[in-house]
Amino acid sequence: MNVAELEQQVKQKLPSIGPNKLRELVRLVYEIAKREQMDPRELLPVEEKLTFEAVKKKLLKRRYPATFKTAAKNQFYLPKLELDPSRRADLTPRPFYPKTVYIETAVTDSELAARVRAAFPKADFKETDGKTQVGSDNFSRRTETLFIHREKYDFLKPCPCSCGSAGCGYNLINLGFGCRFECEYCFLQQYQNLHAVLLPANIDEFLEKLAVGKFNKGLFDRPRIGSGEFTDSLVFDDLTQYSQKLVPFFRERPQWQFEFKTKSTNIGGLLQVGGCENVVVSWSVNSSKITDRAEHFTPDLTARLAAACEVAKAGYRLGFHFDPVVIYDGYQPDYVRTIQQMADTLPPDKIAWISVGTLRFSRELKKQIETRFPENFILDGEFLLDFDGKMRYDTAQRQEVYRFLVPLLRKTFPQTQVYLCMEDPAVTRSFL
Ligand code: SF4
């Protein structure tokens, strides 16, 4: 669908409409026509004589059938529609092979730099003082540039969670920035302003900071520390070999738990270094419709669970994150199938925790998703501006998800801690 054509159609219906009203109606027509896979012209028959207010009300009712009556007017977010075809995600399957590799002078002799030189002999290698701007102007081309650097400041921090949400006391180390998977909901699309993959070569400095860290244990028996905020924890592990240093480090510190969060099956390093009770390897899991259609380039659910079984056999504990849960027609039976597949496959006594969180995103991310993945279905649900300024399903819809999933998970995996991620404290309390 073309934005200019949509504007033309709305103007035909309401010729004297101003720019703000035009923006709102174009947005509504676009979202309805996309979700219902219909010709947008059918939504605005020219012969029907209606005012702007009447047209808007009619379209809002159709776009938000479950929440139109209960949502406050200012919860509907109707920004300008800007579909830029040059920003579409490139979903052509390809191996990770950067065209240009920048290595910061301070780490040019590091083990990681040596491995990268051996892995990508055809890449153009450049040494940099770390001040030069690297990367593409287009997020979709971020994997063309790899930057091996020395991290100086951003080692450890408490998880920022989401403003006003109930935190779980998580702690983060930033081992990498950028990912080669293309999950349609990934917040990096909007957050990452340096369009490259950044990997720190000074893992030993991270471990020095960790060794003297003071951590909050939150909801859990021991503090949890993880590395999967700005990248997938294992997607580059064959290259970085961070697992080779992290696992022995945490093996000596059983008072803490470390979590690798991944969708990958890149577990060779973990198997090589051997299992460890206080290292939890967590997979993001979802209905097959989401893993197959919205998490591009990632291994499917069966492959993720097979990898989980292997690391459990090696002595690691497991974690799973049903995040983001997406509501669509028939979503419940699909999620039941995923849980059944987990129950049929996994050793239940090895599962340390399972989190559940519904799809949420910032306003800016919504626009990124629709321009990068114009055929997405994940935005077709009824998202409203919510307590933390993010777009979420309304409280009733989220509670429906949790009332369905949380008891089912607790019944299926009775030894496992099941908790909600980034939720309104009032909603979280009712599922503790
Ligand atoms: S695996 Fe995580 S970091 Fe990578 S694209 Fe998906 S959501 Fe983003």
Cα 44 to middle of ligand 1, angstroms: 38
Cα 187 to middle of ligand 1, angstroms: 8
Checking DSSP bridges between strand 182-183 and strand 295-296, what pairing results, if any?
antiparallel
Q: Which atom of ligand 1 is nearest to the CA of 295?
A: 6
Q: Which residue shows structure tokens 């696992």?
A: 247
Interval 125-155: pLDDT, tens = 999 998 778 888 889 999 999 999 999 988 8
- Tell whether ligand 1 has an atom less than 6 A from the beta carbon of residue 294: no
Q: Which helix (H) or strand (E) holds 410?
A: helix 395-412
Cα 260 to middle of ligand 1, angstroms: 13
- Tell whether ligand 1 has an atom less than 6 A from the beta carbon of residue 231: yes
Kindly state the average pLDDT of the residues 385-413: 95
Q: Which residue shows structure tokens 């090589």?
A: 272
pLDDT at 161: 63
Task: Give the model's confidence band at 165: pLDDT under 50 very low, under 70 low, under 90 confident, else very high.
Answer: low
The percent of residues above 90 in pLDDT, for the chain, comes to: 81
Kindly state the average pLDDT of the residues 408-414: 98
Q: Which atom of ligand 1 is nearest to the CA of 264?
A: 1
In angstroms, the CA 216 to CA 179 distance is: 28
Cα 359 to middle of ligand 1, angstroms: 14
Interval 111-126: pLDDT, tens = 999 999 999 999 999 9
Kindly state the average pLDDT of the residues 208-218: 88
pTM of the model: 0.95
Does domain 181-188+203-429 match CATH 3.30.70.2470?
no
Kindly state the average pLDDT of the residues 373-393: 95
| Protein residue closest via CA to atom 8 of ligand 1 | 186
In angstroms, the CA 63 to CA 45 distance is: 17
Whether 166 has a pLDDT exceeding 70, the answer reads: no
Interval 216-254: pLDDT, tens = 887 788 999 999 889 999 999 999 999 999 999 999 999
Higher pLDDT pick, 185 / 229: 185
Ranges of each domain in the chain: 3-87, 181-188+203-429
Cα 301 to middle of ligand 1, angstroms: 15
- Tell whether ligand 1 has an atom less than 6 A from the beta carbon of residue 233: no
Testing ligand 1's pocket by substitution, the residue of 183, 185, 369 carrying the most ligand atoms inside 8 A of its CB is 183
Whether 159 has a pLDDT exceeding 90, the answer reads: no
Whether 163 has a pLDDT exceeding 70, the answer reads: no
In angstroms, the CA 381 to CA 31 distance is: 10
Over the range 218-246, which residues count as b (16 or more CB within 10 Å of their CB) and which as e?
A: bebeebbbbbbbbbbbbbbbebbbbbbbb
Interval 38-85: pLDDT, tens = 999 888 876 677 899 999 999 999 999 999 999 999 999 999 999 999
The percent of residues above 70 in pLDDT, for the chain, comes to: 97
β strands within 75-210, DSSP E: 100-104, 124-128, 145-149, 156-158, 171-173, 182-183, 197-200
Q: Which residue shows structure tokens 């991944």?
A: 262
Cα 189 to middle of ligand 1, angstroms: 10
CA distances (Å), origin 13, targets 20, 33, 35, 78, 80: 15, 16, 22, 19, 19
- Tell whether ligand 1 has an atom less than 6 A from the beta carbon of residue 232: yes
